[in-house]
Homo-oligomer: A and B are copies of this chain.
Amino acid sequence: MRDLVKALKALSDETRLRIMNLLLERECCVCEVMQALNISQSRASRNLNALYDAGFLKLRRQGLWALYSLDEERLGGYYWHLIRAVAKALEGNETALQDRRRLKNARRAVPSCGMRRANQNTSPIRLIRHLYRLRRQGIDFKNWRALRRSTS
């Protein structure tokens, strides 16, 4: 009963439903979530953690990234029904679609996705060096070419 209340509380928030929508699409890092939903970093982190805490998500760390995804192993029992309810309710929802669209354009490892500090002024050169570095590490970075183009 306690657990069910916790799970339901975790889901009964628009921000977190939108996050679930992203994770139904694919694994995401905090950085991608904040870009796709256009919310602050602390907000993305906290809400992801709430869903994690409630038992919906699993966490995998890769370098600096915290990669969250639906925890298929725990999603038996009533969790399964809850997920289905969310998926069903969100299908065709305009916000949900838009978020997914923005997720496609979201980038990992983009300096400005960090703290939203004023006067960030990260030079393109530094960014490109960073991207090369990532590629050297064998990190899957689908669109680094486009990224390079857009910042040079």
Which A residues have a C-beta under 8 Å from some C-beta of B? 1-5, 8-9, 11-14, 17, 77-79, 81-82, 84-86, 88-90, 93, 95-96
Q: Is the CB of A88 within 8 A of B96?
A: no
Asked whether, in the complex, the Cβ of A1 is within 8 Å of the Cβ of B85, the reply is no
- Is chain A's interface secondary structure helix, strand, loop, or mixed overall? helix
Question: Is A4 a contact of B81 with CB atoms below 8 Å?
Answer: no
Q: Which residue of B lies closest to A81 (CB)?
A: B85
Among B77, B78, B93, contact of A1 (Cβ-Cβ < 8 Å): B93
Nearest B residue (CB) for A84: B81
Give the complex CA separation of A96 and B93 in angstroms.
35
Q: Smallest CB-CB separation from A3: which chain B residue?
A: B89
Q: Given the complex, which residues of B lie within 8 Å of A82, measured CB to CB?
A: 81-82, 85
Inter-chain contact B77/A88, CB cutoff 8 Å: yes
A1, A2, A9 pick with most chain B CB within 10 angstroms: A1
Residue in B2, B8, B12, B85 whose CB lies within 8 Å of A78 = B85
Residue A77 contacts which of B9, B89, B96 (CB distance < 8 angstroms)? B89
Partner of A12, one of B8, B79, B84: B8
